Amino acid sequence: MSYKIETIKVNKSRLSEIDFDNIPFGKLFSDHMFSADYIDGEWTNLQIIPFAPLELSPVNLALHYGQSIFEGMKASKMTDGTPALLRPELHVQRLNASADRMCMPHVPEDLFLQALHELVGMESGWIPQKEGSALYIRPVMFAMDAKLGVAVSETYKFLIITGPVGPYYPKPVKLLADTQYIRAAHGGVGEAKTAGNYAASLYPARKAMEKGYDQILWLDAKEFKYVQEVGTMNIFFVIDGKVVTPETNGTILKGITRKMILHILKDQGIEVEERLVDIHEIVAAHKDGRLTEIFGAGTAAVISNVELISYDGVDMKMPPIETHKIAHMLKNTINGIRSGEVADKFGWVVPVKRETAKV
């Protein structure tokens, strides 16, 4: 099905004002955004409009009770200049899984994909060329009912916002395995990309930063024993040459980068295990020198090297980052598939259909 998306263009693009050599993360947005409203059980007002502030009721339900979900994805330019997306269908599927958990409506897959192609096609001039940079894409849906009282909203807004980003987390990160605060418990909303998860992480993250760490390595909510994930990244360990990552059991965000990594590793014949990962196992493997790499994986950073993990008052330092061969290979493979320099043998790359964007 093809939807009729109305386009209202800016009078003057801001593109020429952008310094593509110095892009701050998350502060620059392209000229246009996609916008749709869910009213009377259907998505209407399908529009690409200038990026601009919204008008919200002071009693907007999302502001008070947090019915809000999002996605994070990237568009990049292949070496031949074609803008491309990576596995966009998985992002809309996960958006809809988050929607289910938060009692929100689905965005039809075909609507999501059409809007994405039209918007990214139109904003393709905003996609930075530099290695590791991209056009970050932020789909977001939130409640729009204007009333107080905890209840499921009947109306929603869905936006797709885009903005150029440079390489993210260029420095290796120091993690604190926290034994006081939790991110997600069984039965909770840890698997949903919903606003409250990130709000709840701010205070513990600030405490960790005050102690000199960059982020928290979350442990399970019951025993503070099993490793979950980091900020907006899934976590991987290399032990005895084997790659080990926590299984997604309802408390961990099902990362699309994580999924691609598991696929690449299996394809290359590198042994991988998805299972419970006990922090004591990590401590023991570090002690014996069997823990050779730790890395985080997510759309924003792709791969983020971990320099150390602090647990129980001890900083477990990792060997020099240059020796983290698997992390390096994965980053190059995923970035290479994106750019077209590595053959896309799994069929993950979706070139943006630019012709649909011509208005």
Ligand X SMILES: *Cc1c(COP(=O)(O)O)cnc(C)c1O
| Chain residues in the site for ligand X (CB under 6 A) | 72, 193, 229, 232-234, 253, 255-258, 298-299
354 contact partners, CB below 8 Å, separation of at least 6: 83, 121, 124
CA distances from 353 to 8, 119, 199 (A): 19, 10, 36
Closest CB to ligand X among residues 39, 200? 200
Considering beta carbons, is residue 299 or 339 the nearer one to ligand X?
299
CB–CB of 105/112 below 8 Å? no
What stretch of H or E contains 217?
strand 215-219
Q: How far is the CB of 266 from ligand X (least distance, A)?
A: 17
Which amino acid appears at position 289 of this protein?
Answer: G
SS3 state at 160: strand
Closest separation in Å from C-beta 15 to ligand X: 26
Residue 233 phi/psi, 5-degree rounding, is -140, 145
Q: What's the number of CA atoms in the CB half-sphere (13 Å) around residue 207?
A: 12
Q: Provide, rounded to whole angstroms, the least separation between the CB of residue 258 and ligand X.
A: 6
Pairing of strands 156-165, 173-177: unpaired
Nearer to ligand X, 228 or 310 (CB): 228
Classify 159 as helix, strand or coil.
strand
Min separation Cβ 98 and ligand X, Å = 10
- What is the closest distance, in whole angstroms, from the C-beta atom of residue 260 to ligand X in the complex? 8
Q: Which is nearer to ligand X, 138 or 353 (CB)?
A: 138
Smallest distance, ligand X to C-beta of residue 166, A: 17
Separation between Cα atoms, residue 345 and residue 260, nearest integer Å? 12
The beta strand positions in 54-115, using DSSP E, are 68-70, 73-77, 83-86
Query: Measured from the CB of residue 87, what is the shortest distance to ligand X in angstroms?
Result: 9
| Nearer to ligand X (CB atom), residue 255 or residue 340 | 255
If you compute the radius of gyration of the chain from its CA atoms, what whole number of angstroms results?
A: 21
**CA 38 → CA 52, 117, 159, 202, distances in Å?**
19, 21, 11, 30
The nearer residue to ligand X, 164 or 255, going by C-beta atoms, is: 255
In the bound complex, what is the minimum distance in angstroms from residue 195's beta carbon to ligand X? 11
Which CB, 94 or 117, lies closer to ligand X? 94
Q: Which of 118, 113, 115, 119 has its CA nearest to residue 31?
A: 119
Task: Report the C-alpha gap between 272 and 242 in whole angstroms.
Answer: 6
> Whole-number minimum distance, CB 337 to ligand X, in Å?
14
Q: Return all residues near 58 (Cβ < 8 A) that are at least 6 apart.
A: none
- Between CA 72 and CA 87 the distance in angstroms is 12
By beta-carbon proximity to ligand X, the closer residue of 122 and 159 is: 159
Rounded CA separation 264/269 (Å): 9
Nearest approach, Cβ of 52 to ligand X (angstroms)? 26
Whichever of 43 and 236 has its CB closer to ligand X, that residue is: 236
For residue 31, give the nearest of 54, 48, 6, 47 by alpha carbon. 48
Residue with smaller CB distance to ligand X, 133 or 234? 234
